Chain A
Amino acid sequence: MSLKIFLTSDLHLGMKFAGYPKVQSELTEARFATLENLVQRANHENCNLFVVAGDLFDRVSIAKSNIIRAAQILSEFQGNLVTVLPGNHDFIIRGQNDLWAIFKESSGDNVKILGDRQIEPLHHYDLDVHLYPAPCEAKHSDENHINWIKELPKNEDVTFHIGVAHGSLEGFSPDFDKEYYPMTVSELNDCKLDIWLIGHTHSQYPVRPSSQDRIFYPATPEPDGFDCMHDGKAWIIEMDETKRINPSSLTTGTYRFQHGEAELNRSSDVETLLKKYSSNDYKRTLLKLKLKGRLPTEEYKRLPCLKENIEEQLFYIHWDDADIFEKITQDIIDKEFTEGSFPHKLLSSLADDIEDVEALQIAYDLINEVKQ
């Protein structure tokens, strides 16, 4: 038989987005909508196994209604089984964790929590699979939880031996202090499993998968901030009886966070920028736009209008105009002000320092403000 796995992780349901008060509720809600989309997508693709490789929830203390909602969404999976691994944000502590107790109570029979470091045979779910979970039991740990698998004899009568873990991978994940269950490729390979499905790092791994790859990070399916630059990703991984792997990357996010940088020095630059964001492609984009350059006066005055126009096309904009200034040259100063006059002297002195354009702009604006 072949196996078709839908792999996701790092939904972080319950994130607050307090830094985005204008769109806070939309961003919070989007994570649930994305989970629903993932399940529908997995159903549509006829996946057998739906794997959440950790951090389904953002925290262990999360509103009960959210837990129930997530459990119900996952229960809508029409394949054989949903497995949910507790990650470092929603870690499990055996016998004392309300989160997973409520989740278990609220989910259907086709949802299994991978809360123990022990082999999980899935033949009860008509899957010729042994899962080897490495659940998290705390937010931080300088030791990974995969060591128990290494020396374990593998049942040769079972076709697929699949590891599910959550933590950082050396060379891929930014875990400088080694505090997120750090793993290495060789450690994972030493476990001699057919494939590893891992969560934690919010970007996808491998970047360009080949049939030789055995370690997969799905990335977060719903971007969660300006440090997350992709559109939300997941994997569908097909494995045939010969253990040949065929991975497909999916784009899954509702919203995307983008950084933009534009250098505006002339009218055409402004037009180009406006044009760039004029399409409806950006209706679900949160954009951090950093403007640089020195614009002629007339163009500079159009900036608020430009912002308004671009903002209309976006879901959210962080407008960073701290480095864009009016083009105030010595010529302009000479043209506008009498030599020896106070504004002429002040602006000329500031214009001497090519780095101090911000002061020049402020002074220029102020002079125009007080000019009668």
Chain B
Amino acid sequence: MIITNIKLNPFGGLINKEIDFEKGLNVIIGPNEAGKSTIFNAIQKVFFTPSKLDKRAFKNEIERFIPLGGGDTIKVELQFLFNGETFTLKRTWGASPSSELVLPKGTLTNEDAIVSKLESLLPAKEGTYKSVLMTYQSGLSKTLDDLIHDPETLYSLGDIIRRSILETDGVSIDRFKQKIDKLFIDHFSRWDNAKNFPEKGRGIENPWKKDVGYILESYYENENVKSYYESALEYENNLDEINQSISNCQRIITEKQTYLQENKKAVEAARKLQRMNAELEAAQLKIKTLSDVNNKWPVLENEITKLERESPQWDVRLSALKKEKEEAEQLENKKKLLEKFGRVDKRKKELEVAEKEFESIMKLTDDSLEVIRDADATIKELKASIGAGKLTINFTPKRDLTLDIQKDLEDSYFHEVKGNETIQFEAGGRLKIEHSDWALEVASGKESVEINLQNYKEAEKKLHDLFEEYGVESLDAVIELNKSYNRHFGDVKSARKNLDDELGTESYEELENKIHELGPEKKTRPVAVIVEELVGFDKDIEKKKEELTQSQEQIRKYINEYESKENLLTIYAEAAKQKKDASENIKALAPLLENTDDIDLFIEKYEKTSEELESEKENRTGGLLQRAELEKNMPEQSAEEFKKQLAETEEQFQAVLRKGKAIARIKDMAFEISEQMNSGLYDELKNDLEKFVSALTNGRYAQVELEEGLPQGFIRDDGELLTYELLSAGTKDVLAMALRLSMAGHFLKNADGFLIMDDPLVDLDPERQKKAAELLRKYAEEKQILIFTCHPSHAELLEGHQIML
């Protein structure tokens, strides 16, 4: 965008003023108060101040430009080129406000449309224009001036550039950070943001006392109210519970008191009745006892008399029975002796027969049998031994032969063998082949076979001799003979034992003598019958004696208790009277207990109720004490009131928390932005800055040293690095201008645009002024520059399109 013309009619002190501008450098020259600042403001207002303003905005923005006594309207018309095409922006403020943007094709009159169109035409936003591109005693100038002329503070070049860019608007990042950090701490101190809880979990039971932030403060307040609310609720519930318990006790007490009151007379009557019943029962029992005694006493006396009279007869009868028993026993012994003798005699005869048979048989004992068995076994053993081997002989004669063959213990036999015929002989341990001309004996171990054959012959002879001794021919016959011997021997032995058993300790002769001594037989009753009668009679006597003793004892007791039968009747009369009295009392009590079925249960219930009443009274006292204790901690307000309060504090807490979170977000974002801005931001500026500084210092400082992305200082032509504080005042002024131009380039980039400056050469020495003028002329080849100055000499140096005010 290139400004080509402006008309002010009127604006501030200027009426019907028209100025043409050219592309490139324009120098507006005029003494103070000539209207330089009015033109500057007119350019700014026509671009950025809408024509329709409310009262307050009008007062702030426009009122000071209304000419004194020159009407109620001001007007600015600005013409500019954009991409070679002409646009005209007209604004009138005051009584008849209007805006108009004449486009190459058409005209816009709607304010929003004009603003929108201007935004698309201007290469930077309003804020950037006001702070960098249209600086007229601007913030940037002031910041730079402050930086340059403040000898107390040492700034690095990086600081200056950084602040120049980031803090163009006069907003110090550090101060902002300090502020937001403070605000963050004010809110979040002692608050754990991640856990959304007080730091180290310190709730209201163990609260932080120092450095308590707003959030925690609000949290504690809310939690305290919550705690009061919960305590009040608990208090009220506990009170309800205790009151309920006291009420229950009271109800039970009343019920029980009523019951006891209502039944007091009845229970007294019941207790009396209980006593009367006991008395009546006792009297009845006594009467019954006395009546029994009265009946039994004479009977017992009669019984004693009768038994005492019978007793002498009992011994006579007892002696007779004992004698009869003795005689019967003797008779039974005699019978038993005769029977025994008969049995002994029979056994004696059986023994005699057995002994006779034993005498007649061959006596082959078990020992003898063992000897014969050994001999037989030996023969069999030797025979087995001789035949145990295995001999095979193949025999082939050259001519016909007759051979005598004997194998082992077998009998020899003749065998005819043809010439050249092979015959095979097999034997156990020995084979003997004999021919008339020769004999061949083959044996497996010749020596042992010989011995065995010898032994075999001897054993065979021994067995033969034994068979002959017992008149038998075989081992089976020997065994049979031994069995016969053993049987007869056993028979004799058994018969003798039977006889001995029957005799016992006596001999046969002694028994025979006892039989001979027995006298004649006498008749008696069987012993068992006599004994039975004797035992029965004995028991009978014992019983009668006991009866007598008991009766005598009972009579003694009666006398001890009642003295005499006459006195017994007196006691009986007394008991009858007691019974009568008790019955009459019981009868009198009946109406009081009409509704009581069981007086024992009734009394029991009454007494239990009485005990329960006492217990309930204790419970009630306990409840009252408990309530008094509870009431010591009575809350200040009802739970409902605390609940209302809680709603308020909760709302407050949430609001503070919400604000805190917003602050936290700002803090994070500020940090993030400042980090982004510190990295690589200055690379772009570096080249421009170097170029401008080099030009302004005649090449003395041609390079800027960067460290970690930040410019640290200039590198002098001798290679020396000069940090900002080492620069001279004049060099610092150069730097200010270089920085201004760099930043303008930074914002305008490649777009056509204008830069407005106010007396840029004023603080430079003549040499530098020249250099600066050169630089500005060169810069104006790329961008339009409008320079306001009150120094004609500067204007002369600057050259360009000169506009005299």
Contact = CB atoms under 8 A, between A and B. Distances in A.
A289 B172 CA distance: 37
A341 B244 contact: no
A372 B673 contact: no
B644 A346 contact: no
Given A95-B250, A350-B669, A16 B677 contact: no
B125 A335 contact: yes
Interface in A1-47: 12, 15-19
A338 B662 contact: no
A3 to B, nearest CB: 33
A140 interface: yes
Interface stretch (B174-182, B329-337, B496-504, B754-762): B174-182
Nearest to A298: B56
Given A335-B125, A342-B176, A96 B624 contact: yes
A244 to B, nearest CB: 37
Interface in A218-247: 224-227
Contacts of B180: 363, 366
A208 interface: no
Contact of B127 (A338, A350, A358): A338
Nearest to A359: B662
B636 interface: yes
A359 B674 contact: no
B240 A338 contact: no
B247 A342 contact: no
A225 B666 CA distance: 37
Contact of B658 (A226, A322, A333, A371): A322
Nearest to B677: A342
A303 interface: no
Interface in A69-121: 89, 91, 93-96
Contacts of A17: 641
A52 B127 CA distance: 70
Interface string A332-372: 01111111111111100110000010110011001101111
A61 interface: yes
B125 A339 contact: yes
Contacts of B769: none
Contacts of A226: 644, 647-648
A337 B246 contact: no
A341 B250 contact: no
B539 to A, nearest CB: 84
B72 interface: no
A26 B747 CA distance: 64
Given A16-B637, A58-B641, A339-B125, A139 B673 contact: no
Given A58-B638, A366-B176, A370-B172, A344 B127 contact: yes
Interface in B116-137: 124-128, 131-132
B170 interface: yes
- In this complex, the member of A59, A225, A358 whose beta carbon has the largest number of chain B beta carbons within 10 angstroms is A59
Contacts of B102: none
Interface in B50-66: 54, 56-57
B239 interface: yes
A350 B666 CA distance: 8
A285 B89 CA distance: 55
Contacts of A60: 239
A367 B634 contact: no
A328 interface: no
A344 B124 contact: no
Contact of B659 (A61, A93, A333, A358): A358
Contacts of B170: 371-372
Contacts of A224: 644
B645 interface: yes
A94 B247 contact: yes
A317 to B, nearest CB: 13
A138 interface: yes
Interface size band for A: 35 or more
B179 A370 contact: yes
A137 interface: yes
Contacts of A18: 636-637, 641, 645
Contacts of A372: 139, 170-172
Interface in B146-175: 165-173, 175
B659 A362 contact: yes
Contacts of B647: 226-227
B260 interface: no
A85 B158 CA distance: 83
B442 to A, nearest CB: 127
A179 to B, nearest CB: 10
B641 A16 contact: yes
B176 A336 contact: no
Contacts of A333: 127
A138 B655 CA distance: 37
Nearest to A97: B243
A19 B125 CA distance: 50
Contacts of A370: 171-172, 175-176, 179
B670 interface: yes
A93 B240 contact: no
Contacts of B173: 342
B637 A93 contact: no
A66 B127 CA distance: 67
Contacts of B572: none
Contacts of B237: 139-140
Given A18-B645, A96-B624, A140-B237, A335 B126 contact: yes
B169 A344 contact: yes
Nearest to B228: A18
B796 interface: no
A61 B631 contact: yes
A201 B785 CA distance: 79
A89 B676 CA distance: 63
B48 interface: yes
Given A16-B641, A58-B641, A267-B54, A339 B747 contact: yes
Interface string B614-650: 0000000000100000010010111011001101110
A155 B240 CA distance: 35
Given A96-B250, A333-B127, A227 B662 contact: no
B665 A356 contact: yes
A362 B184 CA distance: 11
Interface in B438-455: none
Contacts of A367: 171, 176
A250 to B, nearest CB: 24
Contacts of A362: 183, 659, 662-663, 666
Contacts of B240: 138-140
A345 B676 CA distance: 10
A334 B670 contact: no
Contacts of A227: 644, 647
A322 B659 contact: yes
Contact of B165 (A59, A341, A356): A341
Query: Which of A95, A335, A369 has the most B CB atoms < 10 Å from its CB?
Result: A335
24 contacts: A18-B637, A18-B641, A19-B644, A58-B641, A61-B631, A138-B239, A138-B243, A139-B240, A322-B659, A334-B127, A336-B126, A337-B169, A340-B165, A341-B169, A342-B167, A342-B171, A356-B662, A358-B658, A362-B666, A369-B179, A370-B175, A370-B176, A370-B179, A372-B170
Interface of B: 48, 54, 56-57, 124-128, 131-132, 139, 165-173, 175-176, 179-180, 183, 236-237, 239-240, 243-244, 246-247, 250, 624, 631, 634, 636-638, 640-641, 644-645, 647-649, 655, 658-659, 662-663, 665-666, 669-670, 673-674, 676-677, 746-747
Interface of A: 12, 15-19, 58-61, 89, 91, 93-96, 137-140, 224-227, 267, 298, 318, 320, 322, 333-346, 349-350, 356, 358-359, 362-363, 366-367, 369-372
Given A91-B243, A334-B127, A372-B172, 17 more contacts: A15-B641, A16-B641, A58-B638, A140-B236, A322-B658, A341-B171, A342-B171, A343-B176, A345-B673, A350-B665, A362-B666, A363-B670, A366-B179, A367-B171, A370-B171, A370-B172, A371-B170
